[in-house]
Amino acid sequence: MIKNKKFKNAINNIPQGTPPIWFMRQAGRYHSHYQSLRKKHTFVELCKTPSLAAEVAMGPINDFDYDVAILFSDILFPLESLGLKLDYAPGPVFDRFLKEEDIIKAPIELDVIHKHNFQAEALKLTRASLSEEKSLVGFVGGPWTLLSYGLGIKDEEKIVNVHENLFFEKALYDVLIPMLRSIIKMQLDNNAEIVYLFDTNAKQLEQNYFTDKYIVELKHNIFSEFPNKIAYFCKNNPILEKSNTNVDLKLSGMVYGKNEGLENLLPQVKTGFIQGNFDPSLLLKPEDEFKIELDKFIQKFSRLSFEERSGWICSLSHGVLPKAKENNVKYFINEVRSIFDSLD
């Protein structure tokens, strides 16, 4: 059951005046509430101690009144199940990179679920703290994004001939996708209303391989397993601008990872949601400059009818940046609601 009415309407592409609002990385370094907790605890402690993870997740709900809360965790923890030791300093650091034997010795489903039980407990505690009017979502990293981090190739621009690399393909389709499927089921069974699959680094894949092989495998082995319960994000996603993508892939929605053009695509989307697309860097600007940019953003979408923006989740094109100004975030949410409420 989708708790937040606006979020539910967006998922079902039901016309409404005011869109739901939530940001990727809304619980994080820009937020003074998070910073105060971070002075007392490591990042891993915040993620893996369910009561602390719930407290972090609730911070932006209490302070900014987003419509949706998200599990506080990290996409890279599944790599620990493959034998990598993970730390943060402050970004992710591994003791080594994946080897073929790590893939051959891939863990069984029960071991994966056991190692991710902290997420199940955090979801339960977060849901218990949320009002009935707020939604709660989970998330996992995409299989290619996990593999690119695990192999130490996350910063390479393009990876070619993946189909000729037996190690890559076995890791993706025989190990990582089944692991992620288990984690997604666990999150859905523990109060996540939908689960976002964040696959930023899939932009490294050649377009033909992405569309003809990779996304097809995701559809058959994840999206179809949880129809209309998965939202997908890939930066520069080549399939995003097809108006029937959500229904073809059995997705609840997709994140629009570009700063321009969503207002033109949105009227074509008749099933599921599209989330975005305010430029995160604009939240760093001085207040006067930020307000000018926000006004331009709101005007673009206010020109659309309720029906034309029916599947819109008002958000950023990516996550909140660490130096975003809290006052700008608060003003964004209040101003968007004020303007669209007046049009309702």
Domains delineated in the chain:
20-264 (3.20.20.210)
Q: What is the pLDDT of residue 75?
A: 97
pTM of the model: 0.96
The helix or strand, by DSSP H or E, that contains position 228, with its residue range, turns out to be none
Nearest CA to 261 among 281, 285, 236?
A: 236
Q: What is the pLDDT of residue 238?
A: 81
Q: How far lies 154's CA from each of 173, 203, 204, 315, in Å?
A: 19, 10, 9, 25
What's the pLDDT tens digit per position in 69-80? 999 999 999 999
Give the mean model confidence (pLDDT) for residues 244-252.
89
Q: What is the mean pLDDT of the chain?
A: 95
Q: What is the DSSP letter of 199?
A: -
- pLDDT at 159 exceeding the cut of 70: yes
- Give the DSSP letter string of 60-96: HHHHH--SEEE----TTGGGGGGT--EEESSSEEESS
CA pair distance 20, 64, nearest whole angstrom: 13
Cis ω for the linkage preceding 92 (within 30 of 0) = no
Q: What is the pLDDT of residue 330?
A: 98
Per the model's pLDDT, the better-predicted residue between 222 and 245 turns out to be 222
154 contacts: CB under 8 Å, gap ≥ 6: 145, 148, 201
- pLDDT at 339 exceeding the cut of 90: yes
What's the pLDDT tens digit per position in 198-219? 999 999 999 999 999 999 999 9
**Residue 262 identity:** L
Q: What is the pLDDT of residue 251?
A: 96
CA pair distance 343, 308, nearest whole angstrom: 14
Give the pLDDT band of residue 243 (cuts 50, 70, 90): low
CA pair distance 114, 304, nearest whole angstrom: 47
Q: What is the pLDDT of residue 110?
A: 82
Q: What is the pLDDT of residue 173?
A: 96
What's the pLDDT tens digit per position in 21-62? 999 999 999 999 999 999 999 999 999 999 999 999 999 999
What's the pLDDT tens digit per position in 92-128? 999 999 999 999 888 888 889 999 999 999 999 999 9
- pLDDT at 244 exceeding the cut of 80: no
